[in-house]
Amino acid sequence: MGGLGVQRLPGIHGLRAVAAIGIVFFHVAYVPAFTKPAFITLPPIFDHIVPILGNCVPLFFVISAFSLTYVHDKSVGRDGWIGPYLIKRIFRIGPLFWAMMVAYWFLWWWPPRHFIELLIINATFVFNFFPSTHESVVAAGWSVGVEMPFYLAFPFILGRVRRPRDAVIFLVATGIISSASLFWFAGNPDYASKAFTSNIAMFAIGLLAYRCFVSWSDGAKPWSRVAFIAVASAMYFVSWHVPIFNGQFNPLFWSCAFGFLCVWQAATPSRLLANSAMQWLGERSFSIYLLHPLTINQLSIHDVYIWVWQSLEPTIGAWAYLVCVALTLTTVLSLSAVTYALIEKPGQKLGATIIAAFRARRPSPIAKSGAPVLASTAESRLSRRRGGR
């Protein structure tokens, strides 16, 4: 129940690694040290690629909806799957997020006057619904504030979006909501781009992508690769020539390509994403995501990026940026290995233990049937006695 025994999709898991690593490339390019004139130059090719990598968070959203639907689709209609599902989600996200809250508290000491309210709204994952606190006390934690409401609504959504046609209707409805939200909060652009209502259509794209994946014949699935390449190439061109797609609608725009990408990697995973290294990174993608802003901040504060740039730029030019990325990733991946082993994995095991206890306390279907069970038991005993005679 609740996704037990479902085989992992290695291509989708590899995409988690791509999203996590991509967002590191993006943020290293825009750390405070790099906003100075001497540091804003990116290497050739990367000057067009790195800005698009800012959409790796929407990629996470699309992947979340796709993978959750894959894992739990057959659970719909079964008794008692929602409770274990919610427990699993909370203990997959909560332990590391709560640990990061503590870390940021010791580093920056939240204002005492707001301590209790900040603690409550962050620990309960409702901070996205307050424009003044939507960023969370955990850097980059705003996306967690978007994901958790979707996780809560997911069982209700999944129970009603059962066919590709339903998914299309759901996408249209959420597209209207997201567009309206972007306009409604236009006076606060940062909140407009990070509000749950502005991002909900991205989850709908992931759900529709899954419905397309399961409805295609095996012979058609390899064409998902061609479809993604064609759509992504067209969108890359359009994103640089149509102003509206470089603005607030850019993440929604690129999420459509991510939907094709998920279908492709679910149907015919590439070796580039399905190898053991990418699976390892995908497993630790949440740690990578939450740890990288703190790592970048500390390297920036201590002028490490400036030192690397000043040492290497005269020799290799803007390619010094990649050295900064490599240094950042080395630190982040080392820390992620530790947090995954000491926080994430134990948290998941605790969640599994609670789920096991939850199921153990639920009466079995046989016990629920009451008198008929007793009657059938009595009949079987009588039958044995007759057989003995």
Regarding pTM above 0.95, the answer is: no
CB atoms within 10 A of CB 213: 22
In the predicted model, is pLDDT for residue 389 greater than 80?
no
Q: Per-residue pLDDT tens for 327-344?
A: 999 999 999 999 999 999
Residue 364 confidence (pLDDT) above 80: no
Asked if the model's pLDDT at residue 4 lies above 70, the reply is no
Residues 6+ apart with CB under 8 A from 101: 119, 122, 123, 137, 138
CB neighbours (10 Å) of residue 102?
A: 10
Distance CA 7, CA 4 (A): 9
Reported as a single tens digit per residue, the pLDDT across 171-199 is 999 999 999 999 999 899 999 999 999 99
Q: Tell me which of 66 and 247 has the higher pLDDT.
A: 66
Cβ atoms of 343 and 82 within 8 Å: the answer is no
| Cα 107 to Cα 111: distance, rounded to the nearest angstrom | 12
Which residues fall within 8 angstroms of residue 63, CB to CB, at 6 or more apart?
12, 15, 16, 19, 206, 258, 262
pLDDT band at residue 227 using 50, 70 and 90 as cut-offs: confident
Express each pLDDT in 44-86 by its tens digit: 888 888 888 888 999 999 999 999 999 999 999 888 899 999 9
CA-closest candidate to residue 32, choices 377, 296, 339 = 296
The fraction of the chain above a pLDDT of 70, given in percent, is 83
SS3 370: coil
